[in-house]
Amino acid sequence: MSAVQEDVVTLRVAAKEVASDGVVVLTLRHPDGARLPDWAPGAHVDLILPTGAVRQYSLCGDRFDAFRYRVGVLREPDGRGGSAYVHDVLAVGDTVGVGGPRNHFPLVPSERYLFVAGGIGITPLLPMVRQADALDADWTLVYGGRTRASMAFLDELAAHGDRVHLVPEDECGRIDLPRWLADPQPDVAVYCCGPGPLLDAVERACAHWRPHALRTERFVAKEQGAPVRDEPFEVELARTGRSVTVTPGRTVLEAVRSVGVDVLSSCRQGTCGTCETDVLEGLPDHRDSILDDADRAANDCMFVCVSRSRTDRLVLDL
Amino acid sequence: MTRTPMTRTIEPHPALPVHHGDPFGHEVLEDPAAFHGELREAGPVVHLARYDVYAMARYAEVHAALRDWQSFESGAGVGLSNFRTEPPWRPPSLLLESDPPRHDAPRRVLSGLLAPRALRRLREQWRSAAADLVDDLLARGPEFDAVPALAEAFPLRVFPDAVGIPDEGRENLLPYGEFLFNAFGPHNDLVAAGAPRAGDLAAWVNAQCRREVLAEGGFGAQIWAAADRGEITPDQAPLVVRSLLSAGVDTTVHGLGAVLHAVATFPEQWRRLREQPHLARVAFDEAVRWASPVQTFFRTATTDVRVGDAVVPAGKKILMFLASANRDPGRWDDPAAFDLSRDPSGHVGFGFGIHQCVGQHVARLEAESLLTALAERVASIEVAGPVVRHHNNTMRALGSLPLRVRPA
Ligand code: FES
């Protein structure tokens, strides 16, 4: 079905640079020099590698430049091979498929921001700090990494002087979260991106802040408890007029595909947002890492790669 | 200056074609086709001497410029007045009259709210409202003026409810939009005629944007809920509500007027629509292409922008002729025909790019509801008297559209 490729363009790797130990930065351009789709800070794209692997990377370039995308790619030693391919094989001049951009991590307007980055989590925050700067907002970035040499974009950040607090773990230990987060600030928006344990710790540290003060983005799925129900459930596809039973061992995505209905998917772990599907009836058991509590409560959409059902029957707009 | 005979120098600023006409004059507003043709003919960019502004009237340039928000900003106003040098008559719109990054959050909130998914809950309601309206109308006889009876009546029946404003004062909505869209043009007689009431109308609209006025569950209340979640600031919320009330009424009225005018003028297309009711949406978009309810908007060059061989100097206003682009024979076959077999995708009647009409799904749903109700009940539609234009500096509008229908 053509929908699967709808928002994918083929781009050329125009530059590839080492940004730090373990991080390369790719610049992507359209082979014809055409404009690329607009984006805003917090947006990510899917990179569809020649091997067929699909990975999500935050855009970390300049949104005012309509002709270049920039992404930072961390070599993940225990990854599934996507990052190794980018590091070791992908060369300037090669083409890759690029899907999106999508944005589940938009920068909300605020007078003051606290940005907390862990490692490669700096990438979505980089255009955010630039934007906060452009809007004359008051902002602070706390950026932790294993070692100074592993931390990318330090040159760019140096221009911002003491708004940026670097916390290389081998010199200073972990980010002192209580120092930054113990006192809730009514007018500060907190943005955090980084490895799961940092996100979990920041979520705990912000538990006493006002609702929605903290915004996070995960590229690794959040730990989820057991599904609400372990019996099979029915999924009805309103537009197609079919139904299918989803057994405990199967995802809704797989079940829907088995009756010949294609849903766009990418990460298959509830982090990228590609497979978002409207729910017409029934209550989903949300198991993604994207929706916040309010979105969940609305029960009008779900990510079918991971989410399941609380009710016997779900009606999807497919 | 002398030129050496051996080399050909290329002029850095080749003479721009100049047009001395008035795009906001009554003659053009009555029937802009010839004027648009002249502009398209003259070149990709034309200097409009009367206002010292630039004009783009061909599809390719208009389409490209609408996407290029970096070079052609909206924040200096999308009317003739330049907010860098003149104070706007009302606080600028956070959507229409702003650029990234300030544009991001208000746009994001509204586009989430007005997305097809979110509109589903309105579909049934609007279908039955349309059915009631058409039944009542047909019961009164086969002849009516479709402007007040349908094009105005339907949006006024469903949209203010959807936003959640009180019943009282709704009669102010149309005159407010009328003045607002005139105010994008020069200070001509149309603006002067509306000016005495403008302050009161604006005050009334602003008063409807307050949280305590807006009914629970409506778009207005949902905008305030987004402010509670921090997605926009509490200062922005009323202005975002105002955008709905400013841009959501008159444009739809004239869009519906356009599609009714189109099906009455092209009877075989009405037959087709009755046979294939799912074409209702195509019909509306084709009518928006055909008539361009929003005819023009300005942009302002952020830097010297090269367009073809010409340069639009930084700070200059550029008038984008959406209507002309939508009828550019370089882009559309037989552009003056309203044709349901055409794919109208790519028309710029809703704009294009980051400022593309955020309420377009709402407008489509209104049109679909009304056309479906009509198609079920009406075998044929014809124009039953003189069609009267209503002049507005920005909108292509009908003052009167007498129709005669034959019930099915
Ligand atoms: S495929 Fe990524 S969220 Fe489902």
pLDDT tens-digit profile, chain B (408 residues): 334 344 444 444 567 999 999 999 999 999 999 999 999 999 999 999 999 999 999 999 999 999 999 999 999 999 999 999 999 999 999 999 999 999 999 999 999 999 887 898 899 999 999 999 999 999 999 999 999 999 999 999 999 999 999 999 999 999 999 999 999 999 999 999 999 999 999 999 999 999 999 999 999 999 999 999 999 999 999 999 999 999 999 999 999 999 999 999 999 999 999 999 999 999 999 999 999 999 999 999 999 999 988 999 999 999 999 999 999 999 999 999 999 999 999 999 999 999 999 999 999 999 999 999 999 999 999 999 999 999 999 999 999 999 999 999
Chain-chain contact of A131 with B354 (C-beta, under 8 angstroms)? no
- List, in order, residues 6 or more apart from A166 with CB less than 8 Å away: A143, A145, A148, A151, A154, A157
Give the nearest ligand 1 atom to A288 CA: 3
- Asked if B233's CB is within 8 angstroms of A35's CB, the reply is no
Lowest mean pLDDT segment, chosen from A84-98, A175-189, B5-19, B363-377: B5-19
Backbone dihedral angles phi then psi of residue B192, each to the nearest 5 degrees: -60, -40
Rounded Cα distance between A109 and A135, Å, is 9
Contact A106 B108 (CB under 8 A): yes
Q: Is the CB of A268 under 6 A from ligand 1?
A: yes
Residue A265 Cβ inside 6 Å of ligand 1? The answer reads yes
- Closest residue to B231, CB basis, from A108, A280, A300: A108
Suggest the residue from A38, A67, A108 to mutate for an interface test with chain B (most B CBs closer than 10 A).
Answer: A108
Indicate whether A5 pLDDT > 70.
no
pTM (two decimals): 0.91
Can you give the pLDDT at residue B8?
42
Q: Pick the range with the lowest mean pLDDT from A115-124, A238-247, B371-380.
A: A238-247
- A223 pLDDT band, cuts 50/70/90, is confident
Question: Is the pLDDT reported for residue A1 higher than 70?
Answer: no
How many A from CA of A211 to the centre of ligand 1?
Answer: 26
- Dist. CA A275 → ligand 1 center (Å): 5
Counting runs of H as helices and runs of E as strands, what totals does chain A give?
A: 8, 18
Q: Which of A296, A102, A105, A56 is nearest to A214 (CA)?
A: A105
User: Is A131 in Cβ contact with B101 (below 8 Å)?
Assistant: yes
Q: Say how far apart CA A109 and CA B360 lie, in whole Å.
A: 25
pLDDT at A4 over 90: no
Chain B residue with minimal CA distance to A127? B101
CA of A5 to the centre of ligand 1 (A): 15
Are B119 and B361 in contact, with CB atoms under 8 Å apart? Answer: yes
More confident residue, A4 or A37: A37
Given the CA of residue A303, which atom of ligand 1 is nearest to it? Answer: 4
Indicate if ligand 1 lies below 6 Å from the C-beta of A307: no
- What integer best gives the mean pLDDT of chain A? 93
Do the Cβ atoms of A13 and A92 come closer than 8 Å? yes
Q: Which of A212, A300, A317 sits opposite B230 (nearest CB)?
A: A212
Whether ligand 1 lies within 6 angstroms of the CB of A218 is answered as: no
Chain A contact for B124, CB < 8 A?
Answer: no
Assign A210 a pLDDT band (cuts: 50, 70, 90): very high
Burial (CB count <10 Å: 0-12, 13-18, 19+), residue A227: middle
**Closest residue to B100, CB basis, from A63, A213, A294:** A63
Q: In this structure, which amino acid lies at residue A141? A: L
| Alpha carbons A285 and A309: distance in angstroms, whole number | 5
Ligand 1 neighbour A103 (Cβ under 6 A): no
**Owner of token pair 């809950």:** B121
Instruction: Note the pLDDT of residue B134.
Output: 98
**Contact residues on chain A for B70, CB-CB shorter than 8 A:** 64, 66
Q: Residue A291: CB within 6 Å of ligand 1?
A: no
Q: Is B105's CB within 8 Å of A109's CB?
A: yes
Residue B5 pLDDT:
41
- Between the CA of B287 and the centroid of ligand 1 the distance, in Å, is 38
pLDDT of residue B11: 44
CA of B236 to the centre of ligand 1 (A): 32
Dihedral sign for Cα B219, B221, B225, B231, please: positive
Say if the Cβ atoms of A38 and B69 lie within 8 Å.
yes
Residue A8 Cα, ligand 1 centroid: separation in angstroms?
Answer: 16
Atom from ligand 1 closest to the CA of residue A266:
1
- With an 8 Å Cβ cutoff, are A40 and B104 in contact? yes
Residue at A219: amino acid letter: F
Q: How far is A13 from chain B (nearest CA, A)?
A: 23
Helix, coil or strand: residue B249 = coil
User: Would you state the pLDDT for residue B120?
Assistant: 83
Query: How is residue A85 written in tokens?
Result: 């391919």
DSSP class of residue B362 equals H
Query: Is A305 near ligand 1, meaning CB less than 6 Å away?
Result: yes
Burial B1-27 (b: 16+ CB within 10 A, else e): eeeeeeeeeeeeeeebbebebbbbeee
Q: How many Å apart are CA B264 and CA B405, to the nearest integer?
A: 9
Asked whether the beta carbons of B177 and B254 are under 8 A apart, the reply is: no
Q: Which residue, B49, B51, B46, B21, is CA-closest to B35?
A: B21
Handedness of CA B149, B151, B152, B157 (dihedral sign): positive
Q: What is the rounded distance in angstroms from the CA atom of residue B71 to the CA atom of residue B302?
A: 5
> How far out from the chain centre does Cα A10 lie?
21
The best mutation among A303, A307, A308, A316 to test binding of ligand 1, ranked by most ligand atoms within 8 Å of the C-beta, falls on A303
Q: Is the pLDDT of residue A267 over 90?
A: no
How many residues comprise chain A? 318
**Ligand 1: distance of its center to the CA of A207 in Å?**
27
User: A274: Cβ below 6 Å to ligand 1?
Assistant: yes
Is B105–A189 a contact, with Cβ atoms under 8 angstroms apart? Answer: no
Q: Is A273 in the pocket of ligand 1 (CB under 6 A)?
A: yes
Looking at residue B309, its pLDDT comes to 87
